[in-house]
Amino acid sequence: MIYQQADIVDVMLAQGFVVLAVLMLFLNIWTTQDNTIYNFAVAGCNLLRTDKRKVVTVAGAAIGTVLAVGGMYNLLIPFLVLLGTFIPPIGGVIMADFWLNHKGRYPTLADVNLPAFNWIGLASYAIASGMAYFSPILPPLVGVIAAALCYGILLKLPLTSPALDPAEH
């Protein structure tokens, strides 16, 4: 409170403990970011279809460092707001599908023929996400309710899908 700083490293620097501050900062970053770099390496190797984990790990650490130095931290709150806007409509689609399409009881996987895409669900998600993004109040709640309503409305429309001709395949 004396230094009016929330960051302990800044307080230590203000007191002249430069070596201890740098050591504390390094250990803090190490303990929190080792899992992040590991996950980046695993996902990167899988994405790039390579077994050169050391190269991908160093590249991931370099990308993270450049983003951090570039001020990525300042974009954290807007990113979280976007997640809070675009993720909740998924729940609205899932709930509407469960209650409106399946009457509160999903069939077993052995007894159902799943489509490649649930077009009604995707359209409902897209519409609800747009409504949530442009909503002036409570975007997450607007997204969930809009997704459920859109799903219900689209489910009632007489939509026909073109029949696949088995001879074409």
In this structure, the answer to whether residues 95 and 125 fall within a common structural domain is yes
Q: How many domains does the chain have?
A: 2
Q: Is 55 exposed, middle or buried (0-12, 13-18, 19+ CB in 10 A)?
A: middle
Structural domain that includes position 52 = 8-70
Q: Tell me which amino acid residue 83 is.
A: L
CB 144 within 8 A of CB 91: yes
| Separation CA 156–CA 101 (nearest Å) | 10
Residue 75 is assigned to a structural domain of this protein: no
State the CB neighbour count (10 A cutoff) for residue 10. 13
Tens of pLDDT, residues 98-146: 999 888 888 888 888 888 888 999 999 999 999 999 999 999 999 999 9
Q: What is the pTM of this model?
A: 0.65
CA 164 to chain centre: 35
